[in-house]
Chains A and B, each alone.
Chain A
Amino acid sequence: MRSMRAACLMVLCGSLAACMPRPHAPAEATPDAPKAATAPAPARVEPKAAEAPVSTKTMLPPRTGPKPARKPTPEVEVVVLPEADGKVGTVLVENENGTTTLNTAFQSARVATDGTVKSASLDGTRVRENFAPALAAMPERPASYTVWFPEGQDEPTAESRKELKKILEAIRQRPAPDVTVIGHADAVGRESRNDKLSLQRARKIRTALIKLGIPADHINAAGRGAREPLYLTEKPGKAEPRNRRVEISVR
C-alpha cells in the first residue's frame, strides 16, 4: 500500500506540474465576498483611462460599467481567386447589411468601416501582387498516389515498385509531410484474410516512409479489406487487379 501511495504521489505531482500552469488560488476564494469587493473596481478604473475629458464622464450615468473601447471597425477586403483548373467557387460575405455573393474570378467585396459592402471586379495581376506574401506562403497542394499489388501479396507489382520510388521521393521533398496510407484488397478469399492483407500492404508502405526519415507519428496507416472497391466484378468474390491497391495521400 505504501509503495502505491508513493507512486500515486509522483503521478499527482507530475500531472499538477503539467496541466496547472496557473495557480488555482481563485478557486479557493469564497464565491461571494471577494468577488463583490474586487469586481467593480476595474470597472470604474477603465472608463477613466479610456475617456480623458472628465466633463463627459460626469454626464454619463455612473453605474453603466465599462464602456466598450471605441476602436473603429477595420476595413475588410475579400477577393475570390480562380482555381488551378479555372473553376471559381463561391464566397458569401455576410454582415448586418446582408449577404454579398462572390462567384466570378477576382470579384471582390470591400466592407467599409461603417459596414457598407461594395463589390467590384478586380485585375488578377494586381490582386496577386497585393497578396503576394500570403500567396507565396501557401503550402504545396495535397497529392494522392496509388500503388498496385499482385494477388495475395503485400509487395507491390514490379511496375508499381518503380513508381513507388518516385512517389516516395516526391513525399520526401515536401516540408513536414503528413501521410495517410490506406490499403485495399480485392474480394478473393475470406473477409478476415483480406482485412489483414490490406493492412499489411499499407504497413509495408508506412515502413518505407519511415525509412525515408518521415516521423512515424506523421503517418497514418489503415486497411479497409475489400470494402471499398474501385471496380465491382460481375460475380462477387472474383479477382480484380484494380482493387488490389494502396492509396497514399500526402499534405
Chain B
Amino acid sequence: MGYRGAFRFFFLVLTLLMVCGLSQAADVGRVKTSKGDVQVERAGKRIKAPEGTAIQAEDTLVTGADGSVGLSMNDNTLLSLGPNSVFVIEKFLFDGTTNKGEFESTIRRGTLSVVSGKLVKNSPEAVKFKTPSAILGARGTEFVVRVSDAGN
C-alpha cells in the first residue's frame, strides 16, 4: 500500500486510540462497604460491586432487597444506599488543588444517606442531588433521602 496507505492506516489507529482514551472514564470514588446484592451498571453492563470497587462518573449503583452499599468520593463526600435503591452518578468533577468542581446525581428509588465533602464547601451551587419530584441542594451537611414508589 506504500507510503500514503501506511500513513492513513497509522492515522486511523491514532484516532481510534484517542477515542478510546477519551471514553475511558477516570475513577471518582470507591466502594467502602458492600453487603448483599450490590451491583454497578456501567456502559449497559451490570457487574457486582464488592468492597474496593472503583466508581466512575455515569455509573449507576443498584442494590437488591438485601443489599446496602457505602462509597466515598474523591472529594471526601460519603454516600450510602439502603436496600432496593437505584442511584445514578451523572457528573463528578473534582480538582484536588482548588477543591472545586461539580457533582450531579439522582436517587431514583430507595434510600440514600449523604455526608457532604469538599465540593459542597467550595462549590455549593454545583452539587445537586436530584429525585423524581424535587432537587436537593446541600450546603455542608448530613441528610437522608427516601424515594418511595407511589402508592406504597
Contacts and interface: CB of A to CB of B under 8 A. Distances in A.
Q: Do A and B assemble together?
A: yes
B133 A76 contact: yes
A171 B144 CA distance: 27
A13 B92 CA distance: 31
Contact of B134 (A94, A130, A135, A174): A94
Interface residue SS majority, chain A: mixed
A92 interface: yes
Interface in A70-85: 71-83
A239 B31 CA distance: 42
B44 to A, nearest CB: 8
Contact of B135 (A73, A90, A95, A175): A95
Pick the 4 closest A-B CB pairs, nearest first: A89-B141, A139-B32, A134-B82, A72-B150
A74 B143 contact: no
Interface in A192-234: none
A31 B19 CA distance: 22
Interface of B: 1, 6, 9-10, 12-13, 16-17, 19-20, 23-24, 30-33, 35, 43-45, 51-52, 68-72, 74, 76, 78, 80-83, 85, 96, 109, 111-113, 115-116, 131-151
Interface in A1-58: 1, 4-5, 8, 11-12, 15-16, 18-19, 21
Interface in A100-129: 102, 109, 111, 113, 115, 117, 127
Contact of B109 (A74, A131, A138): A74
Contacts of A73: 132-133, 150
B23 A19 contact: yes
A78 B72 CA distance: 21
A180 B99 CA distance: 14
Interface residues of A, number: 58
A59 interface: no
Contacts of A74: 109, 131-133, 147-150
Contacts of B80: 134-135, 137-139
Interface of A: 1, 4-5, 8, 11-12, 15-16, 18-19, 21, 71-83, 88-95, 102, 109, 111, 113, 115, 117, 127, 130-142, 174-176, 178, 180, 251
A133 B36 CA distance: 11
Contact of A137 (B19, B30, B81, B146): B81
Nearest to A88: B141
B133 to A, nearest CB: 5
B133 A75 contact: yes
A91 B6 contact: no
Nearest to B109: A74
Nearest to A109: B134
Given A74-B150, A142-B76, A92 B136 contact: yes
B145 A176 contact: no
Nearest to A176: B52
B51 A176 contact: yes
B144 A138 contact: no
Contact of A91 (B16, B32, B141): B141
